[in-house]
Amino acid sequence: MITAGDALLLLDLLRLRGGPGGASVAEAWRRASANPRLPELLRLEGAELWLYRRLRALNLVTDPALAEVLRAAAHRDALIGLRVDEETEAVIDVLSAAGVPFSLIKGPARRAAAALYPFADARSTSDVDVLVPAARGDEAWAALTTAGYEPVDAAGTPDEHFHLPPLWTARRVAVELHTSTSAHVEPAEAWRRVTDGADAIRWAGRMLSVGSATELLWHGLSHAFMHGGEGVRLRTFLDGAAILASGRAIDWAVVEARIGAREVRNPESDAVVRPRELRRWIATAAMLGGVEVPAAIAADGCYPLAQLLRWRALALGAPVGRAGRGRLLEEAARCEFGLSLTPTLAHQSRLRWARRFVASAAARAVYVGWRGGGPGAGGAPPGGG
């Protein structure tokens, strides 16, 4: 199992500024890094490359088995990143030749702006996301298809979605041309936000425009809440931590105004995400960045990441089957994120609907009981001893 001390130590090591040091930390990490549950947990969290780079910066010795896992993951992510970079360069060249204005967003923006935001590229990305003015979306899509790109999915993308149907070439890296950054932000407003106060950077021999620190922070926050329990994984908080740890100016008045506007919604139910949850996300990212945020943001505290790490390690070893473990992981995250039970699927039969609902409710009850000191507290894996 992973102890509370191990979980807190891991978070301390991941912290981008003001990380721990000293002989006692080195010895504690040598012991903790030998935990056989740690590699699977780090893979689930998407934190392998992040931890690999932090350990190298801190010059800490790691258990040989975990060190090899981290090294292999870092090499894997580096290769994936190079493939995405290659595709990003190709897309940039096509759009530039066509005279279509664009701005990199999400993963490609993080990678291109890594000189401004160290560690922004410390998590993997798998596709190319580009924002274009809505009026030029069809033109951009046509330019890419003329250059040899073809639809990824023959079924296409719903007309109301905020990106056009994904495209790719033989390199098999998907390209998404966005006309907005959210289904609840008008395209013209999304383009204004990304271009106002944008940073001009040189990347791969090209001059590019990337949204300001305020925009990149907001993109990371809003994107985290689009994926249910997945949004509480460590990798999503890195998006905010890297921006905040850079020391670049954040327009907190803009952030608070958008929180108050309640434009971040749960895509499953279209319910507005509570302002408290948005502030907690920022506060948690700031904790991992090793920086402070305004008191109004910090007032609601952070998500209990150490507690969630311990729970996930227990759930990963629970003798309840793959589906059961997935339900335990998902419901704990959704509970902390203030989300309802995992939605049932509309096409399911009543029996399957009932089974899914009961499984989700039971998983959440087990987590809440464990969290509150009920059955399972103290380290017993859910569903078994």
Phi, psi torsion values for 162, nearest 5 degrees: -95, 10
Quick one: 279 and 338 in the same domain?
no
Is it the case that residue 383 has pLDDT exceeding 70? no
Please give the Cα distance from 121 to 107 (Å, whole number).
8
- Per-residue pLDDT reduced to its tens digit, 23-62: 889 999 999 999 999 999 999 999 999 999 999 999 999 9
Burial class (CB in 10 A: 0-12, 13-18, 19+), 274: middle
Q: Is the model's pLDDT at 306 over the cut of 70? A: yes
Residues 261, 116 within the same domain: yes
Residues 186 and 110 in one domain: yes
3 state SS of 315: helix
**Same-domain check for residues 291 and 212:** yes
d(CA 310, CA 82): 33
At residue 156 the predicted structure's pLDDT band, cuts being 50, 70 and 90, is low
Give the domain-ending residue among 271, 298, 325.
298
Residues 111 and 208 in one domain: yes
Could you tell me if 230 and 284 lie in one domain? yes
pTM of the model: 0.91
Q: Confidence class of residue 161 from pLDDT cuts 50, 70 and 90?
A: low
pLDDT band at 154 (very low <50, low <70, confident <90, very high): low
- How far, in Å, are 62, 232, 335 from residue 267 at the CA level? 40, 16, 16
CATH assignment of the domain containing 211: 3.30.460.40
Would you say residue 34 lies in a domain?
Answer: no
Q: For residue 182, is it within any domain?
A: yes
The candidate with the shortest Cα–Cα distance to 106, out of 235, 202, 280, 278, is 235
More confident residue, 232 or 217: 217
The reply to whether 352 falls in a domain is yes
For the stretch 75-93, pLDDT in tens is 999 999 999 999 999 999 9
Is 307 a domain residue?
A: no
Q: Which domain holds residue 358?
A: 317-385
Same structural domain, 294 and 360: no
Q: Are residues 113 and 209 in the same domain?
A: yes
Report yes or no on 48 lying in a domain. no
In a domain, residue 306? The reply is no
Query: What pLDDT does 1 receive?
Result: 80
64 located within any domain: no
Q: What is the dihedral of CA 53, 56, 60, 61, to 10 degrees?
A: 100
pLDDT given for residue 269 in this prediction: 72
Query: Of 298, 326, 342, which residue is a domain's last?
Result: 298
How many CB atoms within 10 Å of residue 259?
22
Range 189-216 average pLDDT: 95
The mean pLDDT of the chain is 90
Query: What mean pLDDT is predicted for residues 68-78?
Result: 95
114 in the same domain as 206: yes
In a domain, 41, yes or no: no
Total domains in the chain come to 2
Could you say which of 244, 265, 298 is where a domain stops?
Answer: 298
267 shares its domain with 346: no
State residue 174's pLDDT score. Answer: 96
Q: How confident is the model at residue 232 (pLDDT cuts 50, 70, 90)?
A: confident
pLDDT beyond 80 at 374: no
In this model, does residue 328 exceed pLDDT 80?
Answer: yes
Q: Are residues 322 and 276 in the same domain?
A: no
More confident residue, 260 or 375: 260
Q: Residue 319 burial (CB < 10 Å; 0-12/13-18/19+)?
A: exposed
- Is 145 in the same domain as 292? yes
Per-residue pLDDT of 236-267, as tens digits, reads 999 999 999 999 999 999 999 999 998 898 77
